[in-house]
Amino acid sequence: MKSLMSFALAIFMGMASLAMAEEAPRRGGTLQSVLWPEPPGIMTGIYTQSSALLPTTKIFESLLTYDFNLNPHPNLAESWEISPDGLKYTFKLRENVRWHDGEAFTADDVVFTYGDYLIEVHPRARAVFERAQVSKLDDHTVVFELKEPFAPLIRSFDLCCLIVPEHLYKGTDFRKNPNNLAPIGTGPFKFDEWKRGEYIHLARNDDYWRDGLPYLDDIYYRFVPDAASRALALETGQMHIATQNDLELFDVDRLSKLPHLDVTTKGWEWGSPIVWIEMNLRKEPFSDKRFRQAMMYALDQNYFRDVIFQGYAKVATGPVHSASPFYEPDVPAYRQDLKKAEALLDEMGLKPDADGKRTTIKLLGLPYGEMWNRSAEYTRQALRKVGIEVILEPSDPAGWATRTRNWDFEMTMYFLTTMGDPALGVSRTFLSDNRKQGVLFTNHAGYANPEVDALFNKAAVSVDEEERKQLYSQVQKILVDDAAVLWLVELVWPTVYNKKLHNVVTGASGPNSSFADAWLAE
Cα–Cα distance, 106 to 348 (Å, whole number):
64
Residue 412: partners with Cβ closer than 8 Å, 6 or more residues away: 277, 278, 363, 364, 366, 400, 403, 404, 444
Q: What is the CA radius of gyration of the chain?
A: 25
Residue 368: partners with Cβ closer than 8 Å, 6 or more residues away: 245, 397
Closer residue to other proteins, CB minimum distance, 120 or 517: 120
Under rule CB under 8 A, residue 17 binds other proteins: no
Under rule CB under 8 A, residue 25 binds other proteins: no
Under rule CB under 8 A, residue 373 binds other proteins: no
* Range 310-339, binding other proteins (CB under 8 A): none
Closer residue to other proteins, CB minimum distance, 243 or 506: 243
Q: Tell me which stretch binds other proteins (CB under 8 A): 174-182, 252-260, 337-345, 447-455.
A: 174-182
Asked if 107 and 120 count as a contact pair (C-beta separation under 8 A), the reply is no
Q: Tell me which stretch binds other proteins (CB under 8 A): 64-72, 175-183, 280-288, 508-516.
A: 175-183
CB of 512 to other proteins, least distance (A): 14
Instruction: Give the number of other Cβ atoms within 10 Å of residue 336's Cβ.
Output: 16
Closer residue to other proteins, CB minimum distance, 16 or 228: 228
Q: Tell me the sheet residues that pair with 261.
A: 498
DSSP codes, 183-204 = ---SSSEEEEEEETTTEEEEEE
Binding mask 127-166 for other proteins (x = CB under 8 A): x---------------------------------------
Among candidate residues 522, 419, 517, the one with its CA nearest the CA of residue 58: 517
**Contact with other proteins (CB under 8 A): which of 27, 374, 384, 405?**
405
CB of 236 to other proteins, least distance (A): 6
Among candidate residues 371, 430, 444, the one with its CA nearest the CA of residue 402: 444
Closer residue to other proteins, CB minimum distance, 86 or 273: 273
CB of 401 to other proteins, least distance (A): 4
Cα–Cα distance, 414 to 422 (Å, whole number):
18
Under rule CB under 8 A, residue 254 binds other proteins: no
CB of 123 to other proteins, least distance (A): 3
Dihedral pair phi/psi, residue 11, rounded to 5°: -65, -45
Closer residue to other proteins, CB minimum distance, 364 or 411: 364
Asked if 139 and 166 count as a contact pair (C-beta separation under 8 A), the reply is no
Under rule CB under 8 A, residue 396 binds other proteins: yes
Under rule CB under 8 A, residue 370 binds other proteins: no
Closer residue to other proteins, CB minimum distance, 30 or 133: 30
Under rule CB under 8 A, residue 123 binds other proteins: yes
**Contact with other proteins (CB under 8 A): which of 95, 139, 148, 198?**
198
Under rule CB under 8 A, residue 428 binds other proteins: yes
User: Is the previous residue joined to 37 through a cis bond, with omega within 30 degrees of 0?
Assistant: yes
How far is residue 76 from each of residues 41, 105, 164, 420, 487, measured CA to CA in Å?
24, 9, 12, 21, 38
Q: What is the DSSP letter of 227?
A: H
Cα–Cα distance, 477 to 482 (Å, whole number):
9
Under rule CB under 8 A, residue 233 binds other proteins: yes
CB of 8 to other proteins, least distance (A): 40
**Contact with other proteins (CB under 8 A): which of 8, 18, 22, 37?**
37
**Contact with other proteins (CB under 8 A): which of 73, 282, 436, 499?**
436
**Contact with other proteins (CB under 8 A): which of 222, 292, 314, 358?**
222
Q: How many residues bind other proteins (CB under 8 A)?
A: 55
Q: Tell me which stretch binds other proteins (CB under 8 A): 289-297, 305-313, 428-436, 501-509.
A: 428-436
Residue 268: partners with Cβ closer than 8 Å, 6 or more residues away: 244, 491, 492, 493, 508, 510
Cα–Cα distance, 363 to 459 (Å, whole number):
33
Q: Tell me which stretch binds other proteins (CB under 8 A): 2-10, 35-43, 287-295, 317-325.
A: 35-43
Under rule CB under 8 A, residue 460 binds other proteins: no
CB of 165 to other proteins, least distance (A): 19
Under rule CB under 8 A, residue 124 binds other proteins: yes
Cα–Cα distance, 455 to 483 (Å, whole number):
17
Under rule CB under 8 A, residue 399 binds other proteins: yes
Asked if 219 and 469 count as a contact pair (C-beta separation under 8 A), the reply is no
Residue 278: partners with Cβ closer than 8 Å, 6 or more residues away: 404, 409, 411, 412, 413, 414, 429, 444, 445, 485, 486
Closer residue to other proteins, CB minimum distance, 104 or 119: 119
DSSP codes, 67-115 = -TT--EEESSEEEEEE-TTS-EEEEEEPSS-B-TTSPBP-HHHHHHIII
Closer residue to other proteins, CB minimum distance, 58 or 428: 428
Cα–Cα distance, 484 to 319 (Å, whole number):
9
Residues near other proteins, by CB under 8 A:
30, 32, 37-38, 40-41, 48-49, 122-124, 126-127, 175-176, 180-181, 195-199, 201, 220, 222-226, 228-229, 232-233, 235-236, 238, 395-403, 405, 417, 428, 434, 436, 438-442
